[in-house]
Structure 1
């Protein structure tokens, strides 16, 4: 009987020794600078927004960063100084040009940050519409963008979808790796702001689609956000900050892109 008793004792010891309290460290990280910059091919007040991250337990109200020095230069030798028009918002009225590389320089709180983006050629957004999809006998209306992808270049696209002036919470990106030179119909499934709002499109809803032709770095940024939103092919991806094209460990992005917008009403 001694031997079985010894085995029983060892077994119980193993189970008790496997118990371990795991403490998840949710210590707050130091704030990081966040830069969101866009240069489009429209003559408008181009905008660079600078904020800082907040602690894990704080309300999502991001501090604005004022008194920064913000400049943009282009590959043709032009310089643009961006003035702070409201806290953390820096603007300059200008128009970007396809094929030109734009470089952002920011001096904020004693640190320098930079990023570059080349504006691609514009690909016309031919039209937008609403199509019917059948899911297990139920019909769901879906917004769609129609365009013809050029055959002689590599293209990357980013879309924003608004329904009744509400921006969809999904991230929409596409490239032509498998569709180069084809006629494209890109479906844009709407995602409401919260669970109380409907994701369905209904008759008389107002649809607005914005299309941006972006460079490869910005495609990677939006694609990473799409993956982390749980809507990409690799659902379950561990959340992490998407790769930024801004130096010095800043978060965000700087994008030079073309811009188009079309509207339609759901029938």
Structure 2
């Protein structure tokens, strides 16, 4: 298992250069908002390692080399493991949460806990926050939201809310919903979770399963997304979807490996690893 203890050296300066964050380095809500927004705009979501049969390393040095120093991205376990270390380095409290993705599911229990998100505590603030830089969907959070129900949270042009849903467990079930992220245009559940804390060892096991299981979509199909100033780009297999901030959606089918590589390199800003065979 990887060593993610807080004493492991971490190059915060390099991370901040990668994300372009130039704000104050203290554990406050403005810093949390700014860091999350900068991270999701700077570092793409991608699953190129699982597609080529490799479980991505969650070792801090490997994450730094890949997501900070290389022109690469990662999926939720990589993004949020790295972001958790950034926040802990700055003095935030972080609890790792494993969530059940709800997109395309009828009930929370229909999906395993396969998504990593973070519960964040800001020193001196009794409110805790849901923070997430690794959800590969157009309904992803761009800024943290308070862990409370009964209100809508606008964040960087997107609308979210948290609701409670009945379930069989002893802890309340929270559901993150996004408005206008689906074809229906209304509120759509993104993922469900309880506030039970999980450890890095738990995340390692889920990461390995999702990356290597032949039943996992991440081991079989390309998912690459990039957020620009005015659009969300998603490559799913050979289909490229652009969702603009005004709600306009355009889709096009890519033909041939050369075009797919070109789009990944130029439009999605991800370097394709050597030896990876892409769909044709």
Q: TM-score, structure 2 length as denominator?
A: 0.23
Flag the structure with higher strand content: 1
More helix by proportion, 1 or 2?
A: 2
Q: Normalising to structure 1: TM-score of the pair?
A: 0.24
